[in-house]
């Protein structure tokens, strides 16, 4: 460890959550390289994969494994190292740890033990894809990986149909076609999707299209289902009226409650305007 790299570390033993490149090694920051060189040990999702990055950056710090199958046990070891006065870095195979990747349990365990957790920001696949989507003017919701089972996957999507924010999903290559098929069925063929494949890597591909065209796009070239995927779905368009979910909830409540009470509770459940719900409830009662 050089004096300059040591100065990057806190005086208190800390866990540094370090973002690493998605693919292009040039995307690693100077601070990240310095931290990785200065700490006493690096906890990595896949030590063999991360060793290539360490060699490219000239980092010789010891690597240990921390992945989804050993995270609880490895987290305890991190706390022991911190208790012994050592500094520890946490990295994943690509991007930011603990965001749909191992690390969240380890971070929680270290915090519970009273040690600082320091972010060293950098690449994040979700933000990289979102930034080129043109969807996030109002906001976004990070969803991450959905269930591998179609029924549960569609149920999760259905709960998001009326969300006005852009929706960011991760998906594996062997499920991406099924996932996009379900998206077209649930969100509708007109909703726009951005498909970001192999970002920053040699075969990077980023396309935007209506969901109704996405399945055919994947099927047109077998190479398009290879790699790592971020799927960004545009938020729901602004609707006139209350929306399907608000109407459904209001209708159910009106079967059991007075108009004013039903409108108030429906507003609390759905977030729809209470006055609009009350007016709609009166109309439904008169029609009945």
- Walk along the chain (288 residues) and give the pLDDT tens digit of each residue: 555 556 899 999 999 999 999 999 999 999 999 999 999 999 999 999 999 999 999 999 999 999 999 999 999 999 999 999 999 999 999 999 999 999 999 999 999 999 999 999 999 999 999 999 999 777 999 999 999 999 999 999 999 988 889 999 999 999 999 999 999 999 999 999 999 999 999 999 999 999 999 999 999 999 999 999 999 999 988 766 677 888 889 989 988 899 999 999 998 998 888 888 888 888 887 766
Query: Would you say 78 and 4 are in contact if contact means Cβ atoms under 8 Å apart?
Result: no
In order, the DSSP letters of 143-156 are EEEPPSSHHHHHHH
pLDDT reported for residue 177:
97
Per the structure block, which two tokens stand in for 15? Answer: 């866990």
Cα distances (Å, whole numbers) of residue 121 to 29, 35, 73, 114: 9, 12, 26, 22
- Going by C-alpha positions, the residue among 244, 221, 218 that lies closest to residue 229 is 218
Task: For residue 231, give Cα distances in angstroms to 61, 151, 161.
Answer: 35, 19, 15
Please, are residues 167 and 186 in contact by the beta-carbon 8 Å criterion?
Answer: no
β-strands 229-233, 166-171 pairing: antiparallel
Residues 115, 88: Cα–Cα separation, whole Å: 11
C-alpha–C-alpha distance, residues 78 and 96, integer Å? 18
- Position 119 scores a pLDDT of 97
Q: How far apart are CA 253 and CA 264, in angstroms?
A: 10
Give the whole-angstrom CA distance, residue 215 versus residue 168. Answer: 18
For the CA atoms of 229, 233, 234, 239, what is the dihedral angle to 10 degrees? 180
HSE, CB side, 13 Å, CA atoms: give it for residue 86.
15
How many CB atoms sit inside 10 A of residue 59's CB?
Answer: 22
What integer pLDDT is reported at residue 274 of this predicted model? Answer: 83
> Cα dihedral sign for 20, 22, 28, 29?
negative
pLDDT number for residue 273: 82
- pLDDT at residue 283 in the model: 82
What does the buried/exposed string (b/e) look like for 26-54 if buried means 16 or more CB atoms within 10 Å of the residue's CB? ebbbeebbbbbbbbbbbbbbebeebeebb
């Amino acid at each position: 460890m050089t004096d300059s790299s040591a100065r990057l570390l806190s005086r208190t033993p800390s866990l540094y959550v370090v973002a690493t490149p998605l693919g292009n090694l040039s995307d690693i920051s100077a601070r990240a390289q310095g931290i990785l060189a200065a700490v006493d040990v690096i906890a990595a999702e896949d030590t063999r994969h991360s060793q290539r990055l360490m060699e490219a950056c000239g980092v010789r710090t010891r690597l240990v494994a921390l992945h989804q199958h050993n995270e609880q046990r490895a987290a305890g070891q991190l706390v022991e190292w911190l208790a012994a006065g050592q500094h520890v870095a946490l990295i994943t195979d690509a991007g930011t740890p603990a965001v749909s990747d191992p690390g969240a349990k380890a971070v929680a365990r270290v915090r519970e033990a009273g040690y600082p957790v320091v972010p060293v920001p950098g690449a994040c696949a979700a933000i990289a894809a979102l930034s080129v989507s043109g969807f996030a003017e109002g906001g976004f919701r990070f969803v991450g990986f959905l269930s591998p089972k179609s029924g549960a996957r569609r149920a999760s999507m259905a709960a998001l149909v009326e969300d006005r924010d852009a929706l960011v999903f991760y998906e594996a290559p062997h499920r991406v076609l099924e996932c996009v098929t379900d998206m077209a069925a649930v969100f509708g063929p007109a909703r726009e999707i951005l498909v970001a494949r192999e970002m920053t890597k040699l075969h990077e591909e980023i396309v935007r299209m209506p969901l109704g065209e996405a399945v055919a796009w994947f099927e047109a070239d077998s190479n398009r289902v290879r790699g790592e995927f971020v799927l960004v779905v545009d938020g729901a368009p602004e609707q006139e009226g209350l929306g399907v979910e608000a109407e459904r909830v209001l209708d159910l409540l009106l079967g059991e409650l007075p108009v004013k009470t039903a409108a108030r509770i429906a507003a609390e459940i759905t977030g729809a305007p209470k006055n609009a719900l009350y007016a709609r409830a009166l109309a439904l009662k008169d029609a009945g």
